[in-house]
Amino acid sequence: MTRSPTGATRAVRLATFNLENLSGAPDAEAPLEARIRILRPQLERLDADILCLQEVGAERDGKGGPRRFRALDALLRGTRYAGYGRAHSVLPDGRGPLDVHNLVILSRYPVVAHRQYWQDLIDPPVYRLRTAEPESEAPGAVPWDRPALHAEIDIAPGRTLHVFNLHLRAPLAAFVPGQKAGPFAWKSVPGWAEGFFLAAMKRNGQALEVRFAIDALFDADPGAWIALCGDMNAELNEMPLRILRGDEEDTGNGALANRVLIPLERAAPDSRRYSVLHGGRPVMLDHLLVSRPMMRGFREVEIHNEALGDELVAYATVAHSPESYHAPLVARFDIGDG
């Protein structure tokens, strides 16, 4: 972005992009070089000061070695993002990143603190499977599959931006022992339905934990600047987004209006308001939500969906695609005088 002279209004560009299984592994769906040729121009077009990425792989430095973001480093090489500060998700024991589906936040501004939430603020629900083979004898925990990442970023003197990077579980039935007939086939409708129910608990549990973290920030500072970015695998009217937004219409309490998160995509024209094409249907699954105090600096949002392919059609017809079938989003905020 063009840097503002002293005394001029400064802008921050905040973006989110699901890279879809970025990996440098030998068995990756598409060669890394081909993916870089497609993804790097998209990242450069975003011109982001803060960038939230989902589905970032981490490769080992040899057998048993630590995992490192080699594919991401190669993608960012030669771009403005190569020198940005970085926060990323880790395994529950903190030993390092996961092999796939890591969350990464890149920032031109100082990242003063970061943490992740993975059943840290709430306990996972407990449920006994009814269709499992062999039959479950006792209830078990239903944990989420991945964490949420929270970074505190100093974007101006006295101004901290809280950025949450989130990738909610897709609405696909979770595994039930003995009920799968194949990778995408089930032995019975009740088995599939129970798996779908488990997936809903996992997805809504992720959203609930993040909502708890957000409200803790509001308890400490009602004027907090909070941005929630990522692939939610849900549209605005679905339950995970309703949990995250906390609209007055749902709480029924006007005194809680300051705690509502605002979906910035509403500022985009209806014809451009989609981040995924699914079987010919445009859907908005990737979102930027911000707190009301942060809205005073909001100026515009862009959804870069011009070259977006249809994910269902591509899955059936395109071999080794280097594309991401998610559109990136970027929003611009004015943060006062430099």
pLDDT tens sequence across 190-246: 999 999 999 999 999 999 999 999 999 999 999 999 999 999 999 999 999 999 999
Angular region, 262: left φ>0, alpha ψ -120 to 50, beta rest? beta
Q: How far apart are CA 68 and CA 60, in angstroms?
A: 6
What's the pTM? 0.95
Chain mean position to CA 44: 19
Q: Can you name the CATH fold of 9-337?
A: Deoxyribonuclease I; Chain A (3.60.10)
**3-state class (DSSP) for residue 138:** coil
- 85 beta partners: 107
Task: List the chain domain ranges.
Answer: 9-337
Residue 203 burial (C-beta neighbours within 10 Å; 0-12, 13-18, 19+) = buried
Q: How far apart are CA 234 and CA 232, in angstroms?
A: 5
Mean pLDDT confidence for 31-54: 98
pLDDT for 8 equals 57
